[in-house]
Structure 1
């Protein structure tokens, strides 16, 4: 009987010991989910390739969480007389980025147009969307479809600087190209949806349903 108790005690201690050894790695894995590891690997792979593609251009490259963001300043990227027309000097770097993304169907692009606060909200949104569309057109020519490419014209909603100076307004006039894993495209683009547009769409849908009844 005593022997049986001793064997049971030894087995119990072994099990507890094994559990204790396994707890630390298991907890570490829980803190860093698999998706985060994949995102980091993706970022590490893409960042140097993008820097090479943008070399000698006036575009900026920034790493944010799970995104790589390329910023094109409007004043050095677009025709001042035709707000939605890209300058020839910008075509090379954007095309190189588009070609890079084209070969990888696991990567998606969100193009965001931004304006300063000069002018009406409607005009700012229209101009910012036209600029985003001009950049997105190059990605479309490289073969990106809707499942990997989205555009938004945000107007003056997300400034980088105060609009009370010439320098601040120049910083706010920009187009951003957000590169993200295709698997996170919908979640990422949802952060930039216009709530006014969504509310209008819901209202129209409700009216349509009422009319059917």
Structure 2
């Protein structure tokens, strides 16, 4: 009986020696793929909320809408000092977005001459692009456009509608849509 117990004990020790002492390491989970736009939305949304900009996200397009009122000199294309600081913050976010195309588009209301509205819209877009460029955004990543009064957001027959129509829009999209999925940090 002692012999059977001894062999049983030896068998258990032998089998225990064959078992691995530590479980095999589990590889860390791979990060979830995050859409390109989510990498930039949080910071831009914070700026938009503080500065009364509007921000829209449509798939992989981010649209930052900057009202002319409060940011530009009335009836001019000069940015007010109060409009420079928030745009500098936007530039800080976008200068790191080297994987992005940035389109800056000026818009106007329908009052006045069409050609003048086109010119005002382009000069406002240029003013915004200049601040972005001074903030470190590559000019090669930017395109400028002027819509003038051609793309209203609201009815131009009301004061409120005209105010909404006077704006500069920064559209940010991935440079290479085929590689637009990035890994989260």
TM-score range normalised by the length of the shorter chain: 0.7 to 0.9
- C-alpha deviation, 1:146, in angstroms: 3.8
| Alignment of 1:59 onto 2:39 | no
Residue 98 of structure 2: aligned partner: 105
Residue 5 of structure 1: aligned partner: none
Matches within 5 A, 1:67-106: 67-80=61-74, 83-106=76-99
Structure 2 stretches lacking a partner, 5+ long: 1-32, 178-185
Matches within 5 A, 1:146-161: 146-161=139-154
Whole-angstrom distance in 1 between the partners of 2:167 and 2:104: 11
- Higher relative CO (Cα under 8 Å, sequence separation at least 6) belongs to 2
CA deviation vs aligned residue, 1:29-56 (integer Å, no higher than 9, x gap): xxxxxxxxx8x61112211121223342
* Higher helix fraction (1 or 2): 1
- C-alpha deviation, 1:183, in angstroms: 2.5
Please identify runs of 4+ aligned residues in structure 1 that moved more than 6 A: none
Name the count of aligned residue pairs.
146
The structure with the larger Rg is: 2
Whole-angstrom distance in 1 between the partners of 2:90 and 2:99: 15
| Alignment of 1:50 onto 2:44 | yes
| Equivalent residue for 2:168, pick from 171, 175, 179 | 175
Structure 1 stretches lacking a partner, 5+ long: 1-37, 185-213
| Alignment of 1:162 onto 2:155 | yes
* Higher strand fraction (1 or 2): 2
Whole-angstrom distance in 1 between the partners of 2:68 and 2:96: 28
- C-alpha deviation, 1:133, in angstroms: 0.5
Contact 1:113 1:155 in 2 (8 A): yes
